[in-house]
Structure formats: structure tokens, C-alpha cells
């Protein structure tokens, strides 16, 4: 790259920057991901998507379970040492909660439109997140390895 020539900061993209050192396409993708994350966090805090409560009882059950862990992780971040299961993994736990909440948002929105939920990906995410938290409940690290 010649000095003075600017381009999108995404590797391999030669388009000129639009905002935040990203081309317009990558900027829009980044904004969509940020919006999806905000909606998932709102779901964890408020239990609503697009100003409505969840309609699916299965998703409600997932959300209640997830909100319990979300609250525990938030408390652990605010008061380290308050949750013996989470300990140093509280920040990771928050990310797992957000990841699963994003799947719940997608599934609920699909159901509201009368479309089948993207079940395969959601089920794998559900199992992955639940396994992480089961390991923590058993006194292990999230990956199943004994704590040092």
C-alpha cells in the first residue's frame, strides 16, 4: 500500500473507507452485528424483543434459565468473588449468554413471521452454552477441566 492511500481496514478489501475506517459494505455489516448484540442484551435485561414478550414457551424457558446466569455473571463482574461457580469466567459467561440470546432473538422473530426457527444452529448453541454452565456448576472450569 502506498503512503497516503486509504482503504477499508478489513483484510483484503480495497474499497475506500466510508466510516470508522471501513468501506460502506463492511460498515453496514458491523452496524448490523452491533444492533443484533444490543437487542440480545436488551432481551437478557428486559425479556422483550421489539417491544414484545416472547411468545414461544420453549424460548421463554431458555430465556429464564439464561437470565439467571446473566444476572449471576453481572453480579460477579460488579462484586468479584461473589459467585463461586463463575469466578474468573464471569466475562466469558456474559458472552455465552449474549450468543445464546442472539439465537433466541432470531428464533422468536422467525416464529413471529410464521417461519420455522433456525433450529440446528440454535440447538448446537444451546447445548454448547448449557455444557459450559453445567461444568461451572460441577466446580470445573467451563471447558470441563478441573480448576487449578
Q: What would the pLDDT profile of 27-81 be if each residue is shown by its tens digit?
A: 888 888 999 999 999 999 999 999 999 998 889 999 999 999 999 999 999 999 9
Q: What is the pLDDT of residues 119-138, one digit of tens each?
A: 788 899 999 999 999 999 99
Nearest Cα to Cα of residue 94 among 67, 122, 70, 129 = 70
More confident call, 22 vs 104: 104
Separation of CA 136 from chain center: 18
What pTM, to 2 d.p., does this model score?
A: 0.85
Give the mean model confidence (pLDDT) for residues 11-23.
88
Backbone angles phi, psi at 145, to 5 degrees: -85, 140
pLDDT computed for residue 24 by the predictor: 87
**pLDDT confidence of residue 58:** 87
- What is the 8-class DSSP label of residue 114? T
Whether 147 and 94 have beta carbons less than 8 Å apart is answered as no
Please report the pLDDT score of residue 1 as a whole number: 42
Please give the share of the chain, as a percent, with pLDDT higher than 90. Answer: 64
Whether the CB-CB separation of 20 and 26 falls below 8 Å is answered with: no
Q: Tell me the per-residue pLDDT of 105-121, one tens digit each, with 9 for 90 and over.
A: 999 999 899 887 667 88
Pairwise CA distance, residues 116 & 96, whole Å: 24
C-alpha torsion 34→39→43→46, nearest 10? 110
DSSP state of 21: T
pLDDT recorded at residue 118: 66
Q: Mean pLDDT throughout 82-94?
A: 93
Amino acid at each position: 500500500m502506498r503512503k497516503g492511500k486509504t482503504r477499508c481496514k478489513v483484510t483484503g478489501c480495497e474499497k475506500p473507507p466510508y466510516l470508522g475506517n471501513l468501506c460502506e459494505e463492511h460498515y453496514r455489516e458491523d452496524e448490523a452485528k452491533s444492533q443484533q448484540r444490543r437487542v440480545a442484551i436488551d432481551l437478557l435485561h428486559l425479556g422483550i424483543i421489539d417491544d414484545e414478550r416472547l411468545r414461544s414457551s420453549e424460548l421463554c424457558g431458555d430465556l429464564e434459565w439464561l437470565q439467571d446466569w446473566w444476572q449471576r455473571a453481572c453480579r460477579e463482574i460488579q462484586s468479584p468473588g461473589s459467585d463461586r461457580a463463575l469466578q474468573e469466567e464471569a466475562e466469558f459467561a456474559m458472552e455465552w449468554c449474549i450468543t445464546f440470546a442472539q439465537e433466541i432473538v432470531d428464533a422468536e422473530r422467525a416464529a413471529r413471521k410464521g417461519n420455522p426457527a433456525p433450529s440446528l444452529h440454535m440447538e448446537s448453541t444451546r447445548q454448547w452454552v448449557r455444557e459450559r454452565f453445567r461444568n461451572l456448576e460441577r466446580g470445573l472450569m467451563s471447558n470441563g477441566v478441573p480448576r487449578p
